[in-house]
Homo-oligomer: A and B are copies of this chain.
Amino acid sequence: MSAADLMAVLFSDYLRYDFDAPENTANDHLVFSKGHASPLLYALYKAAGAIDDEELLTFREFGSRLQGHPTPELPWVDVATGSLGQGLPISVGIALAASRLEQSDLRVWVLCGDSELAEGSMWEAFEHAGYAKLDNLIAIVDVNRLGQRGPTMHEWDTSSLAARASACGWDVQEIDGHDLEAIDAAYTKAQDADRPAVIFARTKKGSGVAAVEDKENQHGKPLADPEAAVEELGGIRSLSVSVQSPPPPKPFEIAMAAVERPTYQVGEKVATRGAYGDALAWIGSIDEKVVALDGEVGNSTYAERFAAKHPDRFFEMYIAEQQMVAAAVGMQARGWKPFASSFGAFLSRAYDFVRMAAISDADLKLCGSHVGVSIGPDGPSQMALEDIASLRAVVGSIVLYPSDANQAVQLVDAMREHRGVSYLRTTREATPVLYEPDEAFRIGGSRTLRSSDDDVVTLVGAGITLRECLSAADELAGKGIAARVIDLYSVKPVDAETLVAAATETGAVVTVEDHWTEGGIGEIVATTLADAGVSAKLARLAVTERPGSGPPEALLAAAGIDADHVVAAVERITNAR
């Protein structure tokens, strides 16, 4: 109710949107960053003729697409909101794609709450949009003074917020959000601004109904007397609004540089993070939809190799991982295929954004470099040791962990073709190339590198621990112990069939991972075997104590995940049989 006037003016005179053709690329975007205003959004859809009264009344019912917070199950919704502070940064991504990639004239309108301006991610968005001079982005802040449990920090004093937005390079207005003429004038000025525009609109929560207007403790609660409220608002009416259609879409062209598919010689030492950069540059040359974003570490993730070849499709997002992931989500809402990279450890900064991306059914490709203790001297703050656990626990996600450079190239291309949230885990250290460039790898696959009928144990590793497994297998062979070695490069989904067969045939399994013991490869293997009803001796080697700094080899040994520990584990569990 606080934002109804704001949205009424937007729908009648400013928004350009064909509700019969939400796929029209020339449509404006409207993002409700304050997703809890969903009743308003759905009422607007009803007024615009997109849904009918009957559907409107299914609000929050089981099976209805009118959920408590908007999701793209509704064709007019780009992205799920409801975790505050995400709609604006995602809209920055939409605006970046529209202006930088597509040279489109569309506008991105975002309805924000005032409470969510406490989220730092909103200020990442203000900063980046101002820096990128996104004149197609208009944020409307519904300053209704009241959060869920009480007043906001600034209530109706918008001066501090306005000064900050202005300092970020935005066109800033402060208005009465219930003054229709003021709203109208503000929208006209905002859409003509040569920079991103924000309108701080002072409003009253529950506007128009005295029983709740500007009162605390009413958040998310039904009215005590809805009939009286309807009467007070002017009685039952059936308002409809004619939303103007957009101009025809304009064609655009993408510059395509030719880049050869990278290949590496078996035995050469190459870091998979390097292969990621090479592969990204390559797929950028075969698929114009591929774009890349990085969090100011492109010389470590090697996203800089994409930037060098395809500068128009590369986005430097600086040290703002939430904005980086949000921008990627925004870009995919316009059909782009974004690859966003940082140190794996720092992707944890954007975990809520990845969680919400999955609810948005987003096509989001992530790459986290510098995983595990094997990064060495930089110490634990830089080591991703929880990324498998956390990113597996994202609905529908894919988690890949390449063990050599040629495989990494193929998995990056598989991520390009896969639609959904996917994550590639890359290694800092150079490791030996194991596979020929033309060997095939797929999401959900694995590779058995050593196998014989005499195998008495199966070693399961991926990434840098596969190298340790192979060394261990060599040493064990010298002792007359035959070990099967499986490269579990697809962590989710996992190749259960191969694991179950190997456990059944060898009777003993050792898993080795450069990751905490919780939620990683060991638990995946244990669960896979338990689900299949297969009993095998199991040793799970993983990182269990907080590491420090040191050479990679010393840290692998200290964590108990190097070849020596694999050998010891094999001897322990096979002797125990």
Contact = CB atoms under 8 A, between A and B. Distances in A.
Contact of A67 (B60, B163, B523, B549): B549
A68 interface: yes
Contacts of A147: 296, 318-319
Contacts of A355: 345, 348, 386
A214 to B, nearest CB: 18
Interface in A548-576: 548-551, 554-555, 558
Nearest to A532: B538
A120 B118 contact: no
B390 A149 contact: no
A318 B152 contact: yes
Contacts of A492: 518
In the complex, the count of this chain's copies comes to: 2
Contacts of A352: 345-346, 348-349, 351
A379 B319 contact: no
A356 interface: yes
A225 interface: no
Interface string A296-316: 111110001000000000001
A126 to B, nearest CB: 9
A417 interface: no
Interface stretch (A77-85, A257-265, A404-412, A451-459): A77-85
Interface stretch (A17-25, A276-284, A392-400): A392-400
A118 B85 CA distance: 16
A378 B148 CA distance: 14
Contacts of A116: 319
Interface string A79-108: 011111100000000000000000000000
B379 A69 contact: yes
Contacts of A380: 67, 71, 80, 82, 359
A81 B382 CA distance: 10
A62 B115 contact: no
A168 interface: yes
A333 interface: no
Contact of A164 (B60, B167, B304, B558): B167
A311 to B, nearest CB: 13
Contact of A323 (B120, B395, B523): B120
Given A296-B148, A297-B149, A546-B358, A85 B319 contact: yes
A179 interface: no
A240 interface: no
A133 interface: no
Interface string A108-150: 0000000110111111100100010000000000000001111
Nearest to A320: B118
A238 interface: no
Given A163-B167, A346-B83, A390-B393, A519 B516 contact: no
A551 B61 CA distance: 7
A220 B393 CA distance: 34
B68 A549 contact: yes
A122 B297 CA distance: 19
A119 B320 CA distance: 5
A115 B319 contact: yes
A385 interface: yes
Interface size class of A (residues with CB under 8 A): 35 or more
Contact of A118 (B65, B318, B356, B524): B318
A530 interface: yes
Contacts of A64: 548-549
Contacts of A544: 395
A248 interface: no
A394 to B, nearest CB: 7
Interface in A363-392: 377-382, 385-386, 389-390, 392
A522 interface: yes
A381 B519 contact: no
A119 B124 contact: yes
Contacts of A131: 153
A531 interface: yes
Contacts of A115: 296, 318-319
A352 B164 CA distance: 26
Nearest to A573: B533
A291 B298 CA distance: 41
A455 B131 CA distance: 66
A467 B558 CA distance: 43
* Residue with the greatest number of chain B CB neighbours at <10 A, chosen from A81, A122, A217, A523: A523
Contacts of A83: 345-346, 349, 381-382
Interface of A: 35, 60-69, 71, 73, 80-85, 115-116, 118-124, 127, 131, 147-150, 152-153, 159-161, 163-164, 166-169, 217, 296-300, 304, 316, 318-320, 322-323, 345-346, 348-349, 351-352, 355-356, 358-359, 361, 377-382, 385-386, 389-390, 392-396, 492, 516, 518-520, 522-524, 526-527, 529-531, 533, 535, 537-538, 540, 544-546, 548-551, 554-555, 558
Given A118-B323, A529-B530, 7 more contacts: A60-B379, A64-B549, A82-B379, A119-B349, A527-B540, A533-B537, A533-B538
14 contacts: A67-B549, A68-B379, A71-B380, A83-B382, A116-B319, A119-B320, A345-B355, A385-B395, A389-B392, A392-B519, A393-B519, A395-B516, A395-B544, A529-B530
